[in-house]
Chain A
Amino acid sequence: MAIVLESLAKIVFMFLLIMGMVPALIWAERKGAAYIQDRTGPNRASIGGVRLAGLVHPIADVLKLVFKEDVAPTNRHRALYALAPWVVMTVAVSTYAVIPFGDYLTIAGRKIPLVVADLQVGLLYVLAVASLGTYGIVLAGWAANNKFTFLGGIRATAQMISYEINMGLAIMGLMLIFGSLRLTDIVAGQGGLLFGWLPMWGVVLQPLGFVLFITSVYAETNRNPFDLPEGESEIVAGYHLEYSSLKFALFFMAEYCHMVVGAAMISALYFGGYQIPWLPRPMLEKHAGLLLQLVLGLTVAASLLFAVLFLRRVQREKGKFGDARDREPVLGAGFWIIVALAAAGAFALRPGDIGATGASVFASLFQVGAFVGKVVFFAWLFIWVRWTLPRFRYDQLMRLGWKVMLPLGLANLVGTALVVALIGNGK
């Protein structure tokens, strides 16, 4: 019974993490794109005058999409048309089951591994589920019975097949080094130090493999510079052209779920997952009290800084809009002052002295935090790259996949195999 509850709690945590990151990423995408292009970006939607720098816009978007009319083509394949967005969404979320988001958590003497399903063949699961994602896109393209969506689906298939091979080859190198297909083993294996000072991360051991992998992941998520399944000037919106309302929202959200999953894969396989370099778990537990005080202190300092910034806005923007938005700086300053006071008040609970149990829990949560931080960075990298690079032409995409990345992947695999055969793997 306990194990069912544990798994449920972990699934819910994972699901909420992904679903919570989706609106945040949509916001980061729009605001980041705007700032990169010297624009201001979304800043209008507000709840009682509070605009949260445009963070209200994703909520407004979702509300709009929920209440929109669901327009569907008459000659669609009804069952597949309705199924496709759910396939895409389910696949995007289910990859997460095998990615460890922390080491373990000890509660009431029970040692709970922080991964939903610790499969022995975790890497194969990831590859299998990732390729299932193509089915959703192809089904969507075909079921809509429209030549543009069909072409989009075909493009997606060809692209996925080309880049899945490279992804597999890149992962194979890691598999040789860590001698396991289990993702927890791979992440645990990245905790050590190479030559006593370099973190033994996958990116250090497999730099070429990392480049191949990250490129393949970008292609798998269908994002710029590999967003060929969509193409305004060629095939309109591609595979999701005939979808509207909530079904379109599912495709849109699935893209961001894919981003989160891709970022999680990159950080788990090549950037040590929850491992913090030079700060292994025993050391974390030993200095838990000190670290907790440091975290609290930084929270106080950061929230005071935000409060000061908001107070400056209160002074500078008095009556600037002449409506509810004038309240925003005041509310912001109040919020950050309360946060600062709460964090400062937490010092009264003696955070420097939390005991062995507390230290263990703190260490687990700290590692989960490190993992989430890495995921956020790589998710941002997706956005950053999208607004920097021009997209590939279709023939360039195929040439890069088959003529450049495939030979490099094979060379990387053979080279890794030789080195592992000569000096043994990480075990």
Chain B
Amino acid sequence: MSFEGLSKESTEKRRSLLESIYLWEVVKGLAVTGRHLVHNIFHTGDMPTMQYPEEKRVYSDRFRGRHRLMKREDGTPRCVACQMCSTYCPADCITITAAEHPDPAIEKYPATFDIDLLRCVYCGLCEEACPCDAIRMDTGIYEIAADSRDKFVVDKEFLLNEQTRGTR
């Protein structure tokens, strides 16, 4: 079989007379949509639509939501301002200013730790880069909304706050 013959037969489906008149096919189509309509009128609960603010989707535990900063036992941030996360961040959304820690064993601590949530792509590479397990994205928060751009830049106090941790 030649290539031309094959392509012609496979692209042009032979239509029967009834199909080429088209009207019966229209009626069949209307029957399909009509079935959906009637079914949905009597079984509104079967629809996959989620009524969002009332119902919320349950995400898996691995879902990457808004970041949080972990604390040591004494309440200070675990972060040692090594800049690994901000270096690794593909969106360049983490800004850390390092300062000298009074404890010589710790060396540095973040004087400021800002994340621009509008730049963040929620890839989770900061979590992986962190040598101290200081930054995590396990809060499960995905409703991040504000009415001005500067409110999306969250600082160290916000990220350390217990209130920002997790909806679950």
Contact = CB atoms under 8 A, between A and B. Distances in A.
7 contacts: A36-B37, A40-B44, A40-B47, A211-B23, A320-B54, A385-B26, A389-B29
A389 B32 CA distance: 11
Given A36-B37, A387-B33, A389-B26, 17 more contacts: A32-B37, A35-B40, A35-B41, A36-B33, A37-B36, A38-B47, A39-B47, A40-B47, A40-B49, A40-B51, A43-B51, A320-B54, A384-B33, A385-B26, A388-B26, A388-B30, A388-B33
B34 interface: yes
Interface of A: 32, 35-40, 43, 211, 320-321, 384-385, 387-389
A180 to B, nearest CB: 29
Given A35-B37, A388-B32, A321 B48 contact: no
Nearest to A35: B40
Given A388-B29, A388-B30, A38 B36 contact: yes
A385 B30 contact: yes
A384 B29 CA distance: 10
Contacts of A35: 36-37, 40-41
Interface of B: 23, 26, 29-30, 32-34, 36-37, 40-41, 44, 47-49, 51, 54
Contacts of B44: 40
Residue picked from A39, A40, A43, A211, most chain B C-beta under 10 Å: A40
A39 B46 CA distance: 10
A369 to B, nearest CB: 24
B36 A36 contact: yes
A108 to B, nearest CB: 45
Contacts of A384: 30, 33-34
Contacts of B54: 320-321
Nearest to A39: B49
Contacts of A39: 47, 49
A389 B33 CA distance: 10
Contacts of B51: 40, 43
A38 B29 contact: no
Question: Which of A35, A211, A389 gathers most chain B CB within 10 Å?
Answer: A35
Across the A-B interface, the 6 shortest Cβ-Cβ residue pairs: A35-B40, A40-B49, A388-B33, A36-B33, A388-B29, A35-B37
A43 B40 CA distance: 15
Contacts of A211: 23
A384 B36 CA distance: 11
Contacts of B36: 35-38
Contacts of B34: 384
Nearest to B49: A40
Nearest to B23: A211
Given A211-B23, A321-B54, A389-B26, A38 B48 contact: yes
A251 to B, nearest CB: 26
Nearest to B31: A388
A38 B40 contact: yes
A389 B51 CA distance: 29
B35 to A, nearest CB: 9
B49 to A, nearest CB: 4
Contacts of B40: 35-36, 38
B128 to A, nearest CB: 39
A389 B28 CA distance: 11
A37 B47 CA distance: 10
Nearest to A38: B47
Contacts of A38: 36, 40, 47-48
A25 B119 CA distance: 44
Contacts of A388: 26, 29-30, 32-33
A301 B36 CA distance: 27
Contacts of B32: 388
A388 B36 CA distance: 11
Nearest to B25: A389
Contacts of A387: 33
A36 B34 CA distance: 7
Q: Which of A32, A384, A387, A388 has the most CB of B within 10 A?
A: A388
B65 to A, nearest CB: 25
Contacts of A32: 37
**Looking at B29, B34, B36, B37, which has the most chain A CB atoms within 10 Å of its CB?**
B37
Contacts of A389: 26, 29
